[in-house]
Amino acid sequence: MLNRLRKLTEGLTRTREAVFSQVADLFDRRQLDEDLWYDLEELLLQADVGVATTDLILGKTKGRVEAERVRDTARAREILIDEMTAVLGGSGEGLRLEQGRLNVILVVGVNGSGKTTSIAKLAGYLKHQGQSVMIAAADTFRAAAIDQLRIWGERVGVPVIAHQPNADPGAVVFDSWQAASARHADVLMVDTAGRLHTKVNLMEELRKIRRVVEKQDPSAPHEVLLILDATTGQNALIQAREFLGTVGVTGLMLTKLDGTARGGSIFPIAHELNLPIKFVGTGEQLDDIAEFDPRAFVEALLRSNK
């Protein structure tokens, strides 16, 4: 647990130093006056928290401060942490995996979001927990994606089922499901395309893959994990809306949190889409992955640099 929190804190260094440490500093040096609330609003917007979510956080925080007649800035900061944590909702619930069955996880996201690396990290994470994992290389439109998955699969010791480039992704998924069932695997992770000729084609391909999975097991997929690049800010929210309407996303994994100075987009994503954030990527190594803990995340963000 301590190691996980340390990695999370270290991974958020750039985001914290750029904006959120200034939020913490507001409560270190200020009285609770209108200037503080004004500066807090500016900082949250600067961090990509978004107008609607910033208004919600500020409204809830100020409301509690006034109702509880708080005068101590340290207590006001704790209330802010409470309300920012609450915005993240059901995040931190982990994957919904059932014992004694093959659990299918569709992994979706645009190219460049860190999808392939995230699949490898998650496969290694699940394997470390004692799960038997297999990967379906169903992004057949990019030969590099197939090659990358094979390399990552070897590194984490997880079998990868793949066809030739440009093969039918549905056929890859079917064969992978058959192989995983025959080997009594616990988890089948399915990589999917992140870009086709048009957005319409991409979304239809994802629907097709989902239909193939459902034919093998009407209860599948058991999770649809959307990989989002935290460095893209508000664009991540737009992407999330598109995938949510197409394949029924059940949870998020945020990548590249270690590489962005504007990690606040995580709050409007969780708030506006009501999607749980299940994992975060905090670096480039295979073990730089953590189950998302909302309060630990907010507390790590709001650590003062003093």
Sheet hosting strand 223-229, strand order edge to edge: 160-161, 133-137, 187-191, 103-108, 223-229, 251-255, 277-281, 289-291
DSSP assignment, residue 120?
H
Q: Give 281's pLDDT tier (boundaries 50, 70, 90).
A: confident
Looking at residues 108-115, what average pLDDT do you find? 88
pTM of the predicted model, to two decimals?
0.87
Is the pLDDT score of 229 beyond 90?
Answer: no
**Which class is domain 2-87?**
mainly alpha
In the chain, the amino acid numbered 278 is: K
CA–CA distance, 82 with 88 (Å, rounded to integer): 10
- For residue 1, the model assigns a pLDDT of 44
What CATH number has the domain spanning 103-296? 3.40.50.300
Who has greater pLDDT, 242 or 226?
226
Q: Are 14 and 256 in contact (CB under 8 A)?
A: no
Q: How far is CA 34 from the centre of its chain?
A: 34
Domain residue ranges in the chain: 2-87, 103-296
In the chain, the amino acid numbered 68 is: E
DSSP assignment, residue 92?
T
Looking at residues 44-58, what average pLDDT do you find? 92
Is the pLDDT score of 2 beyond 50?
Answer: no
Q: Give 224's pLDDT tier (boundaries 50, 70, 90).
A: very high
- Of 113, 294, 110, nearest to 199 by C-alpha is 110
Chain segment 75-107, per-residue pLDDT in tens: 999 999 999 999 987 666 788 899 999 999 999
Bond before 268 cis per omega within 30 degrees: no
In the chain, the amino acid numbered 261 is: A
Residue keyed to tokens 């949870």: 251
Task: Say how many Å lie between the first and final Cα of the chain, rounded.
Answer: 25
54 membership: H or E segment, kind and range: helix 51-67
C-alpha distance from residue 38 to each of 58, 75, 101, 121 (Å)? 10, 18, 53, 40
DSSP assignment, residue 148?
H
Same fold, 2-87 and 103-296: no
CA–CA distance, 20 with 298 (Å, rounded to integer): 10
